[in-house]
Amino acid sequence: MTSKTLRPLIALVGQRDEPTDALHDYCTQLQYALVRRGFALELAEVRWDRLGYLGAFAHLWTQSANWNGQWVLMQYTALSWSRHGFPFGALGVLALMRQRRARCAVVFHDAQGFSGLRVVDRFRRACQHWTMRQAYRMASRSLFTTPVENIDWLPKGSRKARFVPIGANIPDFQIRPEEACLKADRPKIVAVFGVTGGEQLAREVREIAQAVRHANAKNAPLRLNVIGRNSKEAEPLLRRALEGVEVALTTQGVIPMEQIASALCSSDVLLFVRGPVANTRGSAIAGIACGLPIVGYAGPETGFPITEAGLQLVPQGRSDLLSLALDRVLGDDQLRRDLHVRSLHAYATYFSWDRIAEQYLTALGND
């Protein structure tokens, strides 16, 4: 099928995140999968952060001159449309699309609102919920990356809301699960994909080091490979925390997706401490895509379908139990094999980009 015969779709995104942008990566992988189904997804940026809202809206008005009747998929997170999490600009984009008579679907990647107990936190969260309710009302379709029954601001019995899981930001053709968990002739490798910066960095480093030190007592020598955002910033803290322990530490920083796939596929387990494992956690889903068992925390956001993968979860904050879980997975070859198979099956069934593209087209009515 040539590009001239592909049916057009438009993905609208706001400001870019740095140094990596998960929404742009998401749209790129969705492009690949939709092409295989006869659709061309065009990425359109609304760079209000550079042009201001008036300039960005004027550019979008010109760009959208021929979008009458086309499906426009607006990608929503609060910080895509506001520097400080007050995303009213998203409603301006939707209003402009209605003027162009485009058919709009909002993809809510960030549907819960920001947490926090301060007055400003509560006010910001109320503004976000109001904005999302208005966006839901204005859109023809609403797609959510978390199950709709978990979203308290949605109208009861909503018919135009649909849950579509996110996928790993790794192209399917780059994923080659090498069944590292079946290899016994080398040190076992614990992968960590991404570390939270700021105030959370020290806590996460402490929990990673505690779990690895404990598991290393029975499974030495271990290798710890930390990749992705803030991994280089975490390196000096990790080296101090692991001092005197026979653990080979590697930090790779932000690397291309094909290198991420290679690093994960050659590991034995993914250790996830960036909060509860959930359907919105792209780094956890990347591990699932590469056939890894996931050791991490469970919380209110943890639910189907990610629970179908090879998970070993403990209650949030119980770092002592996290250490025991990592030790158990690394020390039990059959358990690791079983979790490996579960992760691959869950990826194929729920999280592959082909499956996600199918759900998009079903939600849009294939029209």
pLDDT-based confidence at residue 3 (cuts at 50, 70, 90): very low
pLDDT-based confidence at residue 366 (cuts at 50, 70, 90): low
Q: Is 7 helix (H, G, I), strand (E, B) or coil?
A: strand
State the pLDDT at residue 365: 87
Indicate if the pLDDT at residue 355 is higher than 90: yes
And the tokens for 310? 């090879």
Q: Are residues 162 and 189 located together in one domain of the fold? A: no
Burial status of residue 63 (CB atoms within 10 A of its CB: 0-12, 13-18, 19 or more): middle
Q: Are residues 184 and 284 located together in one domain of the fold? A: yes
Q: Which residue has the tokens 């975490």?
A: 234
Give the residue-averaged pLDDT of 116-140.
95
Total structural domains within the chain: 2
Q: Are residues 209 and 192 located together in one domain of the fold? A: yes
8 forms beta bridges with: 40
Q: Phi and psi at residue 273, in whole multiples of 5°? A: -125, 10
Handedness of CA 4, 33, 29, 263 (dihedral sign): negative
Burial status of residue 184 (CB atoms within 10 A of its CB: 0-12, 13-18, 19 or more): exposed
Q: Are residues 98 and 244 located together in one domain of the fold? A: no
For residue range 312-328, list pLDDT tens digits in order. Answer: 999 999 999 999 999 99
pLDDT-based confidence at residue 295 (cuts at 50, 70, 90): very high
- For the chain, helix, strand, coil in percent to 5 are 45, 20, 35
- Report how far Cα 180 is from the mean position of its chain's Cα atoms: 24
Indicate if the pLDDT at residue 180 is higher than 80: no
Burial 105-114 (b: 16+ CB within 10 A, else e): bbbbbbbbbe
User: What element of type H or E holds 80?
Assistant: none
Q: Are residues 243 and 339 located together in one domain of the fold? A: yes
Q: Are residues 227 and 299 located together in one domain of the fold? A: yes
Q: Are residues 179 and 319 located together in one domain of the fold? A: yes
Residues 105, 72 contacting (CB under 8 angstroms): yes
CATH code, domain with 16? 3.40.50.2000
Indicate if the pLDDT at residue 6 is higher than 70: yes
Q: Are residues 14 and 80 located together in one domain of the fold? A: yes
Q: Are residues 12 and 156 located together in one domain of the fold? A: yes
Indicate if the pLDDT at residue 290 is higher than 80: yes
pLDDT-based confidence at residue 2 (cuts at 50, 70, 90): very low
Q: Are residues 227 and 340 located together in one domain of the fold? A: yes
What is the reported pTM?
0.89
Q: Are residues 210 and 337 located together in one domain of the fold? A: yes
Q: Are residues 144 and 182 located together in one domain of the fold? A: no
40 forms beta bridges with: 8
Q: What is the mean pLDDT of the chain?
A: 92
And the tokens for 75? 């990608």
Strand ordering across the sheet containing 103-108: 39-45, 7-13, 71-76, 103-108, 141-144, 161-163
Weakest-pLDDT range from 155-159, 206-210, 283-287 = 155-159
Give the residue-averaged pLDDT of 241-270.
93
> Which range marks the domain in which residue 51 is found?
3-167+352-364
